[in-house]
Amino acid sequence: MTALLDVRDLRVEFRTRDGVAKAVNGVSYSVAPGETLAVLGESGSGKSVTAQAVMGILDSPPGHVTGGEIFFQGQDLLKLGREERRRVRGARMAMIFQDALSALNPVLSVGEQLGEMFRVHRGMSKWEAKSKAVELMDRVRIPAGRQRVNDYPHQFSGGMRQRIMIAMALALEPDLIIADEPTTALDVTVQAQVMDLLAELQREFNMGLILITHDLGVVADVADRIAVMYAGRIVETAPVHDLYRRPAHPYTRGLLDSIPRLDRKGRELYAIKGLPPNLMAVPAGCPFHPRCPRARDVCRTDPPPLCTVTGPGLTVSRGAGDAGGTGGAGRTSACHFWKDELHA
């Protein structure tokens, strides 16, 4: 099985007056056609910057890709010119952002914005494009699409706007969608509806989906695999159910223990102590060691490599995985003491 997307050892730096922030520090992950990869981590761990580098929309300067490869359908995107890159975006990969109100154009009607995708990329007439826009509005279950196609973004609710963003992303039937905190700004009930819709359309179109979130609770039902990021690195990858059942990194366990759970009602919610590091001054050794309940001397000096995690009762790799933690059902952890964590 060839990967749809294969990110290898990606590095991104932000060079500012205050110094150099290594926002992405050797990240590798892959997504198979039709697969959903959740990328999880606290705010500031480099999830969005990785996605922006993949999409080719990095804020540059100050951001610079300083290393790595981004293979998409076998082609290294970092070797493409501006114009070629722009053609991949929209048609073959699309992004959904957290904040639809600032991502949508406030002075164009929803129909015009959806229709533009078809006019620009498919050369359709205005009339054809509008009927396609209505079709898309139906697809994402916006009620009364035909009546509402001339309305402006601010006339829709937050949940409906997020559906419009999904419609925009789906318009050209891309092979990969990156959804960056797509439901974070919504009410809990609307969150679930939008997430269900996204998962349903992803299955129907057999798209690869990267779902970025800081909320483990959101991804349990929709993701196939999870990659956990900390301080610009991937610290654990695993099939979603394995990770929930038996995390192999103390950071992942900390995230799991901080989800509110019905069966632990009344108990005080756990919070990982301390704060994520400033990316201009990441601690030596394992970047998580100052916050880690398992930290020992070696953790303060030696950066842990991403190890293959094996053990009885874990999902066996289906063959597409590799020790670099980039695919398949295999597991990896960047902890010196992953065995202790796994058996804790």
Q: Which residues bind Mg ion (CB under 5 A)?
A: 48
**43 touches ligand ADP (CB under 6 A):** yes
From ligand ADP, Mg ion, none, interface partner of 59 (C-beta below 5 to 8 A by class) = ligand ADP
Q: Decide: 155 and 109 in contact? Cβ < 8 Å.
A: no
Among 5, 7, 10, 21, binds ligand ADP (CB under 6 A): 21
SS3 67: strand
**23 touches ligand ADP (CB under 6 A):** yes
User: Among residues 149, 127, 129, which one has the least CA distance to residue 137?
Assistant: 149
Sheet holding 19-31, edge to edge: 19-31, 5-16, 63-72, 75-76
The least distance separating ligand ADP from the CB of residue 214, rounded to whole angstroms, comes to: 7
Tell me the C-alpha distance between 255 and 227, whole Å: 13
Q: Decide: 97 and 180 in contact? Cβ < 8 Å.
A: yes
Task: Map residues 47-86 to x or -, x wherever contact with ligand ADP holds by CB under 6 A.
Answer: xxx---------x--x------------------------
**What residues from 274 to 303 belong to the interface with ligand ADP (CB under 6 A)?**
279
User: Among residues 276, 269, 290, 287, which one has the least CA distance to residue 335?
Assistant: 287
The least distance separating Mg ion from the CB of residue 49, rounded to whole angstroms, comes to: 8
From Mg ion, ligand ADP, none, interface partner of 49 (C-beta below 5 to 8 A by class) = ligand ADP
**183 touches ligand ADP (CB under 6 A):** no
User: Among residues 61, 67, 63, 46, which one has the least CA distance to residue 277?
Assistant: 46
**334 touches ligand ADP (CB under 6 A):** no
Among 2, 16, 150, 155, binds ligand ADP (CB under 6 A): 16
Q: For the residues of 196-245, what is the DSSP string, one character each?
A: HHHHHHHHHHT-EEEEEES-HHHHTTT-SEEEEEETTEEEEEEEHHHHHH
Output 43 or 150, the one with its CB closest to Mg ion.
Answer: 43
Among 3, 6, 7, 14, binds ligand ADP (CB under 6 A): 14
**162 touches ligand ADP (CB under 6 A):** no
